[in-house]
Chain A
Amino acid sequence: MESEHGGHEEHFPNYLFVWFILLFLTGTSIVATLLVTNFLGHIHVMHFVLLAFLFSLGAIKAALVVAYFMHLRFEAKYLWVLGLMALFFVGFFIAGTFFDLTLTAKR
């Protein structure tokens, strides 16, 4: 559907609801950190489990911001391609750096 300027009709999600979810996930991150540092801190591997958990929550929050605050969920698909290309380049550079580091370490 076209708007008066010839563009697509805009969708406005419930920003307040998205914001509450983001705050809830932020609170979950803090609670998880307090639990691990106060009760499970002596188990070395738990620090890496915590890091993975916090990073996963960060990724979910980032996805919510991109999808709803940045409206990518309602945008043309080629904007997704733009974002995915950027992520591909990040992965490419990181993979290259890992590869180089591994080779250097073996020498």
Chain B
Amino acid sequence: MAHAQEMDAYVEPTGIGPPKLGMWLFLSGEVVLFGGIIMTIVLFRVSFPGWAEESSHTNPIIGSVNTFNLLTSSMLVAVAYKMSATGRHDLAKLCILGCLLFGILFLCLKWIIEWPTEIAHHYTIHSGPFWQLYYTATGLHAVHVLVGLVAFVIILVLYMGTWRPKFTLEAAALYWHFVDIVWLFLWPLFYLS
């Protein structure tokens, strides 16, 4: 714990601490991963004639509510970082909790309502290019959401003690915003167009 505290307090002469710089490097790799997937989807959207018909079977209401969930949780984690950096730790914890709740709601809507309904209607990963890309992209994204939620749970639990996770929280927040950005591109491709 003391080591983590030291890591949090350490700042490079450039003004960017190791957690933040490491996260930016990691995210630049993630941009290549998700950028490739999103561009593949765009390619199929333009060249695959049945795309619009297939995408009409997804649930745009759940997709839109989930967009709201991720945007709100992203805003809350940004506020949490601000509160943590300015010493208002109780509010920071509350915002992290709010971020967690919206993230959990995102996954619940996806895993409990959306995917089971689609699978029950025989729209599985074997149902053609649209559904292969749909389950691959949204599944990979959901795994990223889950990883982010686990990170925030750990941060929140440690935050309940004396640990003040300013830079760790910032790195986790950067990751969470990236997950939000990926959804901003997946949402129109699978639910709106």
A-B contact pairs, 21 of them (CB 8 A): A6-B11, A7-B11, A12-B85, A12-B86, A16-B75, A18-B75, A23-B68, A23-B71, A50-B193, A51-B45, A54-B193, A55-B188, A62-B184, A62-B185, A65-B177, A69-B75, A70-B174, A70-B178, A82-B25, A86-B27, A90-B35
Which listed residue, A47, A61, A75, A93, touches B36 by the CB 8 Å rule?
A93
Interface: B79 (CB within 8 A):
yes
Within 8 A of B (CB), among A40-81: 47-48, 50-51, 54-55, 57-58, 61-62, 65-66, 68-70, 75-76, 78-79
Q: Tell me how far the C-beta of B141 lies from the nearest C-beta in chain A, rounded to whole angstroms.
A: 14
Q: Say which one of B12-20, B111-119, B126-134 lies at the interface with A.
A: B12-20
CB of A90 within 8 A of CB of B78, answer: no
CB of A58 within 8 A of CB of B193, answer: no
Given contacts A29-B188, A48-B46, A62-B185, contact A19 B75 (CB under 8 A): yes
Q: A16-B75, A33-B192 are in contact. List 20 more A-B contacts (CB 8 A).
A: A5-B11, A7-B17, A15-B75, A22-B75, A26-B64, A30-B60, A47-B193, A48-B46, A50-B192, A61-B181, A62-B181, A65-B184, A66-B181, A68-B78, A70-B178, A76-B16, A83-B28, A86-B29, A90-B32, A93-B32
Per DSSP, chain A at the interface is helix
Which listed residue, A16, A22, A58, A87, touches B35 by the CB 8 Å rule?
A87
Q: Tell me how far the C-beta of B119 lies from the nearest C-beta in chain A, rounded to whole angstroms.
A: 25
Q: Which B residues form the contact surface with A (CB < 8 A)?
A: 9, 11, 13-17, 24-25, 27-29, 31-32, 35-36, 39, 42, 45-46, 52, 60, 64, 67-68, 71-72, 74-75, 78-79, 82, 85-86, 173-174, 177-178, 180-181, 184-185, 187-188, 192-193
On chain B, the residues within 8 Å of A57 by CB distance are: 188
A-B interface contact total, Cβ < 8 Å: 117
Given contacts A22-B71, A62-B184, contact A51 B193 (CB under 8 A): yes
On chain A, the residues within 8 Å of B27 by CB distance are: 86
Q: Mark A82-105, 1 if CB is under 8 A from B, else 0.
A: 110111011001100000000000
CB of B185 within 8 A of CB of A58, answer: yes
Q: Tell me how far the C-beta of A83 lies from the nearest C-beta in chain B, rounded to whole angstroms.
A: 6
Residue of A nearest to B30 (CB): A86
On chain A, the residues within 8 Å of B36 by CB distance are: 90, 93-94
Please measure, in the bound complex, the distance between the C-alpha atom of A23 and the C-alpha atom of B74, giving whole angstroms.
12
